[in-house]
Structure 1
């Protein structure tokens, strides 16, 4: 049995594009979000991670579960899975890359090869449901 990395991600769509981030030193894009800390709820993780990565404040009450997706974790040993619990949510403030984020990008389905394996599954889901151009 491999290890599971438990993550929560924010799905923010605009005009058929999805908000993605690239960390310093990484070669692929990821949906904004991150690992849960001990005792945190999904919403706690989402609020904290988006504040840390994008300086914006998630409106906790607006968080809506989109789906939970699993795939091989990018850059980890074979058999290490990432479980991504995804939410849409409204936010306040400005979206701006924090110190840990090198780049913020609005991607389309054509950018699928440039994202992590679990994000590819999410891109497939969003494209199949007509939400991602």
Structure 2
């Protein structure tokens, strides 16, 4: 097993979670990505959000929520995504950039109807639903 250290951003509006569509992986997933060597998790998340969503975020604005482990979507068999998820409670206007083809807010049911589903997104949606944050 290989672990892939990642970070993800949580933005919820009207009990739906913001997800970004990766043109590379052909799937909606949490905005964020891999933590580079020498980077803190929050630094990585700020960098990824600027690259993917054209939104400038500071480390002070990020609030830790939970950790998820799941098979890494679009990676070879045996790669496990280890992802720390952070809230951003500020209202922002994300605009897709880089490899992001679209952004959309999803309930658990909305996401369950997607052709491609990332195990990590299913895990975080289940946790958010259990905690009453999303439908």
TM-score (norm 1): 0.91
Distance 1:105 1:3 in 2: 30
Shift of 1:59: 3.3
Q: 1:92 to 1:127 in 2, by over 3 A?
A: closer
SS at structure 2 position matched to 1:5: strand
Match of 2:57 in 1: 58
SS at structure 2 position matched to 1:39: coil
SS at structure 1 position matched to 2:73: coil
CA-to-partner distance for each residue in 1:21-56, whole Å, 9 max, x for gaps?
A: 011143321000000111111110110000000000
CA-to-partner distance for each residue in 1:44-75, whole Å, 9 max, x for gaps?
A: 01100000000001132121110110011112
TM-score (norm 2): 0.90
Distance 1:35 1:83 in 2: 10
Structure 2 gaps of 5+ residues are: none
Structure 1 gaps of 5+ residues are: none
Distance 1:118 1:99 in 2: 21
CA contact 1:58–1:90 (8 Å) conserved in 2:
no
CA contact 1:66–1:86 (8 Å) conserved in 2:
yes
Q: Which moved more, 1:68-77 or 1:14-23?
A: 68-77
